[in-house]
A and B are shown apart, each in its own frame.
Chain A
Amino acid sequence: DIQLTQSPSFLSASVGDRVIITCRASQAISSYLAWYRQRPGRAPELLIYAASTLQSGVPSRFSGSGSGTEFTLTISSLQPEDFATYYCQQLFTYPFTFGPGTKVDI
């Protein structure tokens, strides 16, 4: 199975901060990576897919980059609703594993 690691696992930030989360895959996955935001008590929301494609309706402060084994999610200016947990997921090969998550807290 492909293992995903995320760093940091936890970060403390303020409204307006620029935040960068990294996801590393144990083997190359081309650009088959998605990013999700999950707020407490809710299902995950798709932010980015194909490593860098912004899902329609998602604010432009979110961006993604990378290919192969290293990927980043950038939030250019953190908003109150962005205090949540972020997950990456590889969709290159089964099982479609998730990263362990990055919790963004105030």
Chain B
Amino acid sequence: QVQLVQSGAEVKKPGASVKVSCQASGYTFSTYLLHWVRQAPGQGLEWMGIINPSGGTTTYAQKFQGRVTMTRDTSTSTVYMELSSLSSEDTAVYYCARKNFVESRNLYYWGQGTLVTVSS
């Protein structure tokens, strides 16, 4: 069965960087693009960007351009999301997600979420 398993919670100081991982299993890794979505406490969902595990190409939301880097390791079927210059406003749960079928557009499979807390 498809699984997206994320790394554990992180606590970072303002100005630092964080790198969250998302390991995929149960399907051919290169077949599906992987999205990153975040949710600040008590707030809505925010789409951050997407990575193509096949070639590593990425598209980021304008808001995060210059601060986010998404990469992948095909040998371990893992994608990474690194966010730099953290501030308290980056405190959120970060999710990776992918769609259900190749021909569809949605987010069906979700990781369990990774809480990133930014605090001095």
Q: Is the Cβ of B45 less than 8 Å from the Cβ of A87?
A: yes
B75 at the interface (CB under 8 A from A): no
A37-55 near B? 1/0 per residue, CB < 8 Å:
0100001101001100001
Chain A, interface size: which category? Answer: 20 to 34
A94 surroundings in chain B (CB, below 8 A): 50, 59, 61
Known: A1-B62, A43-B95, A46-B100. A96 touches B47 (CB 8 A): yes
A87 surroundings in chain B (CB, below 8 A): 44-45
Q: How long is the Cα–Cα vector from A97 to B50 in the complex, in angstroms? A: 12
Which A residues between 59 and 106 are near B, CB-CB below 8 angstroms?
A: 87, 89, 91, 94-101
Q: Is the Cβ of A46 less than 8 Å from the Cβ of B108?
A: yes
Q: Is the Cβ of A100 less than 8 Å from the Cβ of B106?
A: no
Known: A1-B62, A43-B111, A44-B110. A98 touches B104 (CB 8 A): no
Residue tally, chain B, CB below 8 Å to A: 23
B61 surroundings in chain A (CB, below 8 A): 1, 94-95
B35 surroundings in chain A (CB, below 8 A): 96
Q: How long is the Cα–Cα vector from A5 to B53 in the complex, in angstroms? A: 32
22 intermolecular pairs with C-beta atoms under 8 Å apart: A1-B61, A34-B105, A34-B106, A43-B110, A44-B45, A44-B110, A49-B104, A49-B105, A49-B106, A50-B104, A50-B105, A55-B108, A87-B44, A89-B106, A94-B59, A94-B61, A95-B49, A95-B62, A96-B50, A97-B47, A98-B44, A98-B46
